[in-house]
Structure 1
Amino acid sequence: MAQQRKRNPNGAGTITKRKDGRYQCAVYVLQPDGTRARKFAYGKTWAECDAKRRVLLDKAENGVPVPTRSAKLAEWLPYWLDNVVKPRRKLSTYDKYEAHVRLYLVPRLGAKRLESLAVADVRRFLAQLARDTTPATAKEAHRVLRSALSSACREELISRNVAQLVEPPRTKPRELTPWTLDETLDFLAVARKDPLYAAFVLAIAMGLRRGEIVGLRWSDLDLDNRVLYVRQQTQRRRGVLYDDDPKSRRRRAVPLPAMCIAPLRWHRMRQAEVRVRAGETWQESGHVFTTRTGRPVEPRNVYRSFTRIAGDAGLRVIRLHDARHGTATLLTAAGVAPRVVMEILGHSQISITMEVYTHVVQDTQREAMSHMDRLLRRRSATGDPRR
C-alpha cells in the first residue's frame, strides 16, 4: 500500500489533483488593496505544483502583494503612490506624480490591466495626450508610467515594462536667455538697497535655487572661512512652508566668493536691528532671510521682489532660476571645468551642465574662428605667392 502524503499545516496551502490529470495548489495571498484571497497555480506534476505553492507562500510571508487576477492600472497606480512613492520620494515629487496619475493616467489608461497593457496602448496614449495638452506633459506622464510599471516588475506582477519600449515625445528645449554681464551688474546696482539684496547676490554669484536661498540658515554659513553649506531647501506645498532636502538630495559645501561676504554681514546686522524692533513678536528660526517677525520669507516673494527690481531698472524680466544659468555661463566662460560647475550648482547630471557649457563653447568657437579668419585674410593681403 502506497504511503499517504502528509497534509500541509494550516496556512500552508493545499495541493489537489484535477480531473484532467494536472495538479492544483491554492494559497491565501496578500492583495494590493491589503485584503487576502486564494491564489491558484497549476502544474503537470505534484512536485511542479508544490514548487509554485512554496513561491506563493514565500511572498505571503514577506508581505509581497500577489493579485489573484491582473490588477487594473486604476487599482495599481494609487497603491504604488501610497506604498512606493510616498515613503521614499520627496513631497514635491509625490504631488507631481499624483497629479499625473489623477489627471491623465487613470482617466485614459485606468481600465487596462497590467498584464494586458501593450506597447501600442502606451504609444496611442502619449500621442493623444501630446495633442490634447503639450509634448512636455506627455513626456512627464510617460516618466511616471514607466516608474510605476518598473515597480510592478519588481513585485513580479508583470514580466516586462512596456513603457520602456516606447520613446517619449520630443520636446523643444527651453531657450536659455540669462542676463549679460552688463545687465547683471546693472541689476545688482539697483537692488543694493533692497532687504533681499544678499539673496540676489547669492543667486547670481553662486547659482543657488530659490528654495535653497529661503532655506538657508546662519548655521549653514561660515563667513570667516568663506564656505556655504547647502543642507536643505524651503518649499510651500499644500499651503504649508516646510524644509526638505535639496533637489536630487545633493547636499554640498561651496566656497563663498568675496563679493558675497559684505552683503551677508550687512544683512546680519540689519536682521539684528529688526529683531530688536520686533521684541516679543520675533519667532527665532535661524533663517538668514526672514520676515519682520523672524519667520522664513515666502519663496514666491523672493521671485516677486526680483522681477519688480528688474522691471524698475528697465531690464529684461527673466526668471530667478535663469540667474543659475547666468552663473553657469560666467563660470564656463572663465574656463571652469564642467564637472566643477556641476558640483557648484548641484546639478544631478552632467548633461544638465553641458547644455550651458555647449552654449558657451559655441560662442568661444565662433570667436576663435573669427581670429582664424583675420589671420588668413592678413596673409592673403601680403601677396604670398604660395596662396
Structure 2
Amino acid sequence: MGRDPETGKRKQQTLTVRGSKKDAERELRAVLTRIEGGAHVKPVKLTVAEYLEQWLQSYVDSNVGPRTGERYIEIIHAHLIPALGSIPLIALRSQHIQTYYGKALKSGRRDGNGGLSAQTVRHHHRVLYEALKHAVKHGILIRNVAEAVDPPRPEHKEMVTLAPEHVNKLLEAVRDTPYYDLFYTAIYTGLRRSELLALQWSHIDL
C-alpha cells in the first residue's frame, strides 16, 4: 500500500471477512488480483447499489442502445437495488441472488399484486450477470457469483389452435368485412401479427 509520507511507516489496510477460512482466502486472492492489475480501490466499501450505479454510468450509457439501457435502468432501480443494494459487493453470494429470484417470483410485482413471470426474472438475471461479469473483467471481483445461480425456467404455455371446422366458421363470419383477407392470410400463412400489419400487396407473389 506504500508508505506514509509524514511518518515513513508502511501503510496497511485491514479487511474483515465474515465466513469461513475459504471465504477469507478467496477475498485475499481478489485483493491481490486487484493490486497486481493496478486497481488501488477499496471495493470492500462498495455496495451492490453503488457498483450498479457506477456500471450504468461507465458502461451501459455508452455501450447499450437507448431502449435496452432504459430497461436496464428500470430493472436495477426498481428491483435489483431494493433487493440487493445494501449488501457489500464483495459479500454478495449466489444464495442472496437465488433467494431474491424466489421472492421475485412470489411477490415481485411493484403494484403488490403477486409475483413476476419467470421470463422477467430471467431478464433480471441477465442484467445482474452482465454487471458482475464487468466487475470481474476490471478486477473488482475475482469471480461472478451469478454463474452459480439457476434462473427460473420460463413457462411453456400450451399453444391453442383452431380446429378445421372452427376455421371455416371464423372465415364465414368475417367474409363480408374488411378483415377477411387479413384473417385468411393469418390462418394459412402463420405470419406474426407485426408481419401481417406490415404486409403490402407488393409483397404478394401470386
Q: TM-score, normalised by structure 1?
A: 0.36
* Contact 2:52–2:76 (CA under 8 A) maintained in structure 1: yes
Q: Distance in 2 between matches of 1:194 and 1:217?
A: 18
- Aligned match of 1:88: 64
Unaligned runs of 5+ in 1: 1-14, 24-41, 44-48, 57-65, 227-257, 259-387
Q: Distance in 1 between matches of 2:202 and 2:61?
A: 33
- Aligned match of 1:188: 171
Which one-letter code corresponds to 1:177 in the other structure?
V
CA distances 1:145-175 after superposition (whole Å, capped 9, x unpaired): 2233233333443222211201123454212
- Aligned match of 1:76: 51
Which one of the candidate residues 154, 159, 162 is aligned to 1:179? 162
* Contact 1:86–1:94 (CA under 8 A) maintained in structure 2: no
1:157 and 2:140 are equivalent in the alignment: yes
Q: Cα 1:20–1:79, aligned 2, differ >3 Å: closer, same or farther?
A: closer
Which one of the candidate residues 82, 101, 104 is aligned to 1:129? 104
Q: Distance in 2 between matches of 1:175 and 1:151?
A: 38
Task: For residue 157 of structure 1, give the secondary structure of its aligned residue in structure 2.
Answer: coil
- Aligned match of 2:17: none
Which one-letter code corresponds to 1:120 in the other structure?
Q
Larger RCO: Structure 1 or Structure 2 (Cα < 8 Å, ≥ 6 residues apart)?
Answer: 2
* Contact 2:60–2:69 (CA under 8 A) maintained in structure 1: no
Query: What is the root-mean-square deviation in Å for CA atoms of aligned residues?
Result: 3.8
Aligned 1:268-287 pairs, distance under 5 A: none
Task: For residue 91 of structure 2, give the secondary structure of its aligned residue in structure 1.
Answer: coil
Q: Distance in 2 between matches of 1:192 and 1:73?
A: 59
1:94, distance to aligned residue in structure 2 (A): 4.3
* Contact 1:73–1:110 (CA under 8 A) maintained in structure 2: yes
Q: Distance in 1 between matches of 2:142 and 2:94?
A: 13
CA distances 1:21-45 after superposition (whole Å, capped 9, x unpaired): 689xxxxxxxxxxxxxxxxxx99xx
Q: Cα 1:204–1:104, aligned 2, differ >3 Å: closer, same or farther?
A: same
Compare the two structures and name the one with the higher helix fraction: 2
* Contact 1:74–1:111 (CA under 8 A) maintained in structure 2: yes
Q: Distance in 2 between matches of 1:196 and 1:86?
A: 45
Task: For residue 147 of structure 2, give the secondary structure of its aligned residue in structure 1.
Answer: helix
Task: For residue 115 of structure 1, give the secondary structure of its aligned residue in structure 2.
Answer: helix
- Aligned match of 2:89: 114
- Aligned match of 2:127: 144
Q: Cα 1:135–1:154, aligned 2, differ >3 Å: closer, same or farther?
A: same
1:109, distance to aligned residue in structure 2 (A): 0.7
* Contact 2:136–2:142 (CA under 8 A) maintained in structure 1: yes
Compare the two structures and name the one with the higher strand fraction: 1
1:134, distance to aligned residue in structure 2 (A): 4.1
Unaligned runs of 5+ in 2: 13-30, 108-114
CA distances 1:113-151 after superposition (whole Å, capped 9, x unpaired): 332211121122122222221452444432332233233
Task: For residue 104 of structure 2, give the secondary structure of its aligned residue in structure 1.
Answer: helix
Q: Distance in 2 between matches of 1:197 and 1:152?
A: 55
* Contact 1:149–1:161 (CA under 8 A) maintained in structure 2: yes
Bigger mean CA deviation after superposition, 97-106 or 132-141: 132-141
Q: TM-score, normalised by structure 2?
A: 0.61
CA distances 1:294-352 after superposition (whole Å, capped 9, x unpaired): xxxxxxxxxxxxxxxxxxxxxxxxxxxxxxxxxxxxxxxxxxxxxxxxxxxxxxxxxxx
- Aligned match of 2:15: none
Aligned 1:241-280 pairs, distance under 5 A: none
